[in-house]
Amino acid sequence: MAFFSPHELKKLLKRYGIEVEELRGVERVELLAGSKKIVITSPQVIVLKAHGQLVYQVIGSEVREEPLTTPVTEHAPPLSEDDIKFVMDQTGASRDKAVEALVKAKGDIARAIMILRGEVE
């Protein structure tokens, strides 16, 4: 089996019309699969560009699986971990309840807090 240095491999792939680029600064990758969420922290992400298509290769050693607490829909707002923690800290609610309130409030943090305090529905 022949081994190539990263530079040699990149040069070889370019000869076949495949560009390789490392996507820097990625803190976390989340994959939603059925009823679970796979979270990869501190990943190395490589983008392969070939024939107008992109292939993302994710390499990580810190991988964990979590159950999805809310169904994935096309209209679900993106929730950051900071927003979820903030709502939990302000209300004393569990993570599941905080996520549920944020989804119901369409990502509006103040409204999610009010929902959990029973001030609005």
Question: Which pLDDT tens digits describe the chain residue by residue (121 residues)?
Answer: 567 787 888 888 889 999 999 999 999 999 988 788 899 999 999 999 998 899 999 999 889 998 877 655 555 568 899 999 999 999 999 999 999 999 999 889 999 999 999 988 7
Residue 70's pLDDT is what? 62
The encoded tokens of residue 24 equal: 């820097």
32's enclosing H/E stretch is strand 28-33
The CATH number of 69-121 is 1.10.8.10
Could you say which of 3.40.50.880, 1.10.10.10, 3.40.50.2000, 2.20.70.30 is the CATH number of the domain covering 1-68? Answer: 2.20.70.30
What is the sign of the dihedral through the CA atoms of 11, 14, 16 and 18?
positive
Residues of the chain with CATH 2.20.70.30: 1-68
The amino acid at residue 110 is: A
Residues of the chain with CATH 1.10.8.10: 69-121
Residue with tokens 């024939």: 51
The encoded tokens of residue 33 equal: 């699969």
* DSSP letter string, 37-94: EEEEES-EEEEEEETTEEEEEEE-SEEEEEE-SS---TTPPP--HHHHHHHHHHH---
∠ CA 114-115-121 to the nearest 5 degrees?
120
Residue 77's pLDDT is what? 65
Residue 34's pLDDT is what? 79
- Beta carbons within 8 Å of 23's beta carbon, 6+ residues apart: 45, 46, 47, 56
